[in-house]
Structures are given as C-alpha cells and as structure tokens.
C-alpha cells in the first residue's frame, strides 16, 4: 500500500484516497480538488469535512450515504423510492376533540355544531405530497384530502396542512400557517416544522376533524 506526501496510507497509486493529494507530490503541495471529491473515505477513516451527499444532502460519513446509499466512489447514485401507496389517511369526526374546542370559548364557538352524521372517508397517500384542506374554485384550491364536506368543518383552512413523502417510505406533516392550528397526538404543531407521522397517529384540525394514519389495504 502506497503512502501519500501527507503520510496517509492509500490504496490508489495516483491520488491519495484519503486526502486527494497527488502521489509523489512534494509535501504541502495542493491536492487536486476534483480527486478529493471523488475519492471514497476508506473504512474506519474520516470523510472529507463538509461534504454532502449529492442525492439527499446528508453529511458524508463514509463511502456510502447512510440515508440513500449513494456510492461516493463514482458509481451511479442510488435511486430513492417512495412507497407511499401503502399508507392511507382516514378522516372522521371526533366528539371529544370538538368538546375541547368549544370549551375554549372562541369567538365563533356558539355557531359551530357537531355533525349528527359524518362517515369515515379513506384517502390513499401517494405521490410526493398530499394536501389537506377545503376545495375552493375561487381560490384555486383542490387538496388531495378534501374536507369541504358534507359535512363541512368550518375550522379547516383551504390549505390547512400537507403530508410530505420521505425517501424511506414514511411521511411527515407540515402546517404552513393554518388559521386554527393542527395537533398530532394531542400536541400542537409548530408552523413550518415537519412532524413525523406513522401508523396510528391522529391528526386533529378544525372544529372536530380527526385524520388517522394507518397501513393501506393491499
């Protein structure tokens, strides 16, 4: 195994596969930047500081990206697939949540009635994003999970929240700034801060709407 001018043990005899320095160059000579970027970090040795995966932007920790599997040695990038079709979102009316909202005695609380009948509806989670809200022709809003009813929950914004597909097949939820906020498993969601969601998680929004994430039917 060759030794580069900086003292690194290198498996390559043209450019050091640790620091990228040209083999045989004088000590202190600048390394070829392109060679350093392409050289994989050998097992057990640190990767070049600050380098990110060109596929998913995860900080480099070795020859292969820990998230998407990209090979820094120059092989074709790993393809990130989203298996979102195996999940579904089921909407329903939650009387207990409605009672909590009304108990807060908001300015319009007395005008909001709990629906006497609200059948469950199932929406397959597919694609890169699934918008949650109420359809509006005037606003040009046509969310994938349309809560415009009937019955219509007046506390749901036209674009209330968005489910975002992750590269590993999971989903996260973002509230882009809804008027009345969103809760996941009872905890308030901070605007524009993604929250991971999975099987059994319950998303509450509006005056009485609950959305349950669960595995889809094969």
- Enumerate domains of the chain plus CATH numbers: 84-215 (2.60.200.20)
What is the rounded CA–CA span in Å between residue 138 and residue 49?
51
What is the rounded CA–CA span in Å between residue 31 and residue 38?
12
Region 74-99: mean pLDDT is 71
Say which residue the tokens 């219509």 belong to: 152
pLDDT bucket at 146, cuts 50 / 70 / 90: very high
This prediction's pTM: 0.60
pLDDT value of residue 141:
80
- How many whole angstroms from its chain centre is CA 93? 27
> What are the tens digits of pLDDT across the range 54-80?
655 567 777 765 545 556 676 443 333
Q: Are strands 182-184 and 187-188 parallel, antiparallel or unpaired?
A: antiparallel
């Amino acid at each position: 195994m060759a030794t580069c001018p900086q003292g690194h043990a290198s498996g390559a005899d043209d450019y050091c596969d640790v620091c990228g320095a040209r083999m045989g160059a004088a000590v202190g000579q600048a390394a070829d930047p392109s060679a350093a970027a392409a050289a994989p970090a050998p097992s057990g040795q640190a990767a070049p500081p600050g380098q990110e995966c060109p596929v998913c932007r995860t900080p480099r920790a070795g020859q292969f990206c820990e998230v998407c599997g990209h090979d820094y040695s120059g092989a074709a990038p790993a393809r990130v697939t989203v298996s979102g079709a195996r999940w579904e979102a089921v909407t329903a009316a939650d009387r207990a949540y409605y009672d909590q909202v009304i108990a807060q005695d908001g300015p319009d609380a007395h005008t909001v009635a709990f629906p006497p009948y609200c059948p469950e509806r199932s929406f397959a989670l597919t694609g890169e994003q699934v918008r949650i809200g109420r359809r509006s022709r005037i606003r040009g809003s046509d969310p994938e999970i349309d809560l415009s009813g009937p019955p219509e929950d007046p506390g749901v914004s036209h674009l209330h929240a968005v489910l975002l597909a992750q590269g590993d097949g999971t989903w996260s939820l973002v509230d882009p700034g809804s008027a009345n906020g969103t809760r996941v498993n009872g905890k308030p969601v901070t605007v524009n801060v993604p929250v991971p969601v999975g099987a059994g998680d319950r998303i509450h929004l509006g005056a009485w709407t609950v959305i349950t994430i669960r595995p889809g039917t094969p």
